[in-house]
Amino acid sequence: MPLRFYNTLTQRVEGFAPLTGNTVRMYTCGPTVWNFAHIGNLRTFTFVDILRRWLRYRGYQLDHVMNITDVDDRIIQQALAAGQSLGEYTAAYTKAFLDDAALLRLERPERLTPATEHIDAMVKLIAGLRQRGCTYESEGSIYFRIASFREYGKLSHTDFSGIRAGTRVDTDRYDKADARDFALWKAPKPGEPFWESELGPGRPGWHIECSAMAMHYLGDTLDIHGGGIDLVFPHHENEIAQSEGLTGKPFARFWLHAEHLILESQTMSKSLGNFITLRDVLAQGYPPEAIRYLLASVPYRKRLNFTADSPKAAATAVERLRNFELRLKTEKFPAGESEWLAARAEQARQRFEEGMDDDLNTAEALAAVFEFVREANTAMDAGDFRSANVAPALDLLERFDRIFDVLRPSERAGGLSDAAVEALIAERAQARARRDFARADQIRKQLAEQGVILEDTKDGTRWKRH
């Protein structure tokens, strides 16, 4: 079965290939830099990262655009309250977002574009919509007339035909019950930043920025548009109305949405005050790779219930894989090949790939890897793992890590984690007990390379980092 994704637009799983050539043209909605990203936001960005990596694994090239929303209602409010300019205020949170992304090893999209650098493209798009009769003005603001777009509601699968025409909503974020004509260009209020334009002075609404930047860089029809599930309405519904209202062509062929992250079984939300940031979790001592693993391990269309124990379980899973990799690289195995294990490695690779092809079913892909690791560890203990089995096992780990990217410890964590150091020390003690001093020395050297010093005492081995 080929690569396939669940498409929110058609509500079906569909085989995926780019429209033209080998390049996937993709737009995903970026952060609004009014505050720190919470761990639920970062789940969506991790999903996008896994999507990018899997598309490339399958041989595609990427032209991926992600915006940084650096002007909207909340940012303006916060910047005014802090007595800062828009640019000063958003620079700090843009940097915080990029730091979080780097800690989680999220690849940079080919283009990361701040909204305020694309005001011209937005003005042009609004002027085009005005020409086509899709807009009207009121008190210096310009609104999109949703009655002008017959298919309004097709993404969220909602019938909006009964709503009263001509009523307006000025805020960027609202729910279905509030579906009304929405602002494309907002007249400046006293003290607020604004841009001079052919539309008059003002600033863009949130929705128009994504339509404008997506089409500016990627053309009228994208292969993939993605984001969090909370963006389906109104944000993506409005993006479709604006873009297709202008071009008359499909705006995006595939719409992919990541489900919510639930914090101890409650939806995380800044407005509800129950949210945690990556910094909060890292402050508890977990390595960032464990959090990356945790966010990636639940398939993106399933809710992820984040509990106090989740990071620990993820850290343990990562540790198991690292220990397995270490065994492969350091233990000496008898010559030859166990044929059944070679076959199991091949099956694991296939099952891993089939899982990922199936709408990025990361749980299935991980199950394939862990099952193999369990069998191989058992075979190693029984002396049934042979030297020719090493390369295919390492190949499986390499394929896994091209997507999940958790095997290399962060520099911050000082190389090996404490658990990995302890495991090696225990293994060294066993080697010494069976008078395998070559292996014991090898482990001592390996730890020294990682900056870990051992001290043997009559009470056992102590260790420290230097």
Q: Which residues here bind Zn ion, judged by CB under 5 A? A: 29, 210
Pairing status of strand 222-228 against strand 23-28:
parallel
**Residue 223 or 325 with smaller CB distance to Zn ion:** 223
φ, ψ for residue 128, nearest 5 deg: -65, -40
CB of 117 to Zn ion, least distance (A): 16
By CB neighbour count within 10 A (0-12 exposed, 13-18 middle, 19+ buried), where does 250 fall?
middle
Of 364, 347, 393, which is closest to residue 302 (Cα–Cα)?
A: 364
CB of 39 to Zn ion, least distance (A): 20
**Residue 210 or 291 with smaller CB distance to Zn ion:** 210
By CB neighbour count within 10 A (0-12 exposed, 13-18 middle, 19+ buried), where does 394 fall?
middle
Of 270, 235, 267, which is closest to residue 78 (Cα–Cα)?
A: 270
**Residue 37 or 298 with smaller CB distance to Zn ion:** 37
Pairing status of strand 304-306 against strand 266-267:
unpaired
CB of 122 to Zn ion, least distance (A): 12
CB of 120 to Zn ion, least distance (A): 18
**Residue 237 or 357 with smaller CB distance to Zn ion:** 237
**Residue 49 or 427 with smaller CB distance to Zn ion:** 49
**Residue 29 or 129 with smaller CB distance to Zn ion:** 29
DSSP bridge partners of 112: 66
3-state helix, strand, coil in the chain (%, to 5): 50, 20, 35
Of 303, 310, 309, which is closest to residue 266 (Cα–Cα)?
A: 303
CB of 246 to Zn ion, least distance (A): 16
CB of 210 to Zn ion, least distance (A): 3
Cβ-based neighbours of 46, under 8 Å, separated by 6 or more:
104, 106, 292, 295, 296
Helix (H, G, I), strand (E, B) or coil at 289: helix
**Residue 225 or 327 with smaller CB distance to Zn ion:** 225
At which residue do the structure tokens 């909370």 appear? 230
CB of 366 to Zn ion, least distance (A): 30
The region, left, alpha or beta by phi > 0 then psi within -120 to 50, assigned to residue 82 is alpha
The answer to whether 89 and 82 are in contact (CB under 8 A) is yes
**Residue 237 or 289 with smaller CB distance to Zn ion:** 237
CB of 29 to Zn ion, least distance (A): 3
CB of 65 to Zn ion, least distance (A): 10
Cα angle 187, 136, 242 (rounded to 5 degrees) comes to: 90
**Residue 29 or 420 with smaller CB distance to Zn ion:** 29
Compute the distance between CA of residue 208 and CA of residue 159 in angstroms, rounded to an integer.
22
